[in-house]
Structure 1
């Protein structure tokens, strides 16, 4: 793009899949996707505003973006049963304060405040549960504990998140 006179400035996110032949690129996005951003931003030690400002001013290369060291993050999406097709709205969500006490972040997507208090479902992707811990294994364990503490009828989530990455990293360390 630079050679064509329109240099790209901004976020470039690579969606990757780990395969037997090594990492493969699935897609590139020039935006922050919800789960992708929600797993990365808790690891950012630098001020996000300053990073974005320096990016727009073409000064990012002269500064250092700082990330938490010796930390890993895992995010698990909790969705409404039936998503992405039809799903029910207005179902009560419980356990959110318990997850907060566990030091786990919960990002709201398809939620709403219920009249008189409480939180209810209001979309397909309801919540993402993000745990930051010293290792990928402990972050995965904590994220799954957070998901288990949250409840709403017909909640669905993937139980395989992170396991292949851990297996891949374990194989890489053994080589």
Structure 2
């Protein structure tokens, strides 16, 4: 990709990210193009569908969260690593209003452009969970799918204006419930 095309693509992703943060994943493509000061055709040349745009935008974050999980696997105690990743994942997901609905649908739909990224993200969290379980600091009755659902649930709280003030407290309740007595100290 040419440097100017890459720069335009990055600009469109930055504008789309801000628009989705404000208005949610259903923001109009026309509005994103207007905010980016380009025509709709230009946006559609880079991202022919809403899903292609969301995939490009969300995949970057998923890749960062996957890399963060790998970093935590080697740098933190197992229980601390699991909770830190969960907090990072929920925080990032909350940034993009409505992303949890897309993630939950994409993980089940192998044809979705977001499927592979969601599967990779879930696997990264599952490795942290398995590591914490092997160390005896996390509940043994959970798996990666449960952890992915907890991310969606906690991020959904952040999407609800009336519940946002409770989100940090409820995160702490859930995080504590993930850990055994040995992992919560």
The normalised TM-score by structure 1 is 0.28
From the two aligned structures, give the one with the greater strand fraction.
1
Task: Report which of the two structures shows the higher radius of gyration computed on alpha carbons.
Answer: 1
From the two aligned structures, give the one with the greater helix fraction.
2
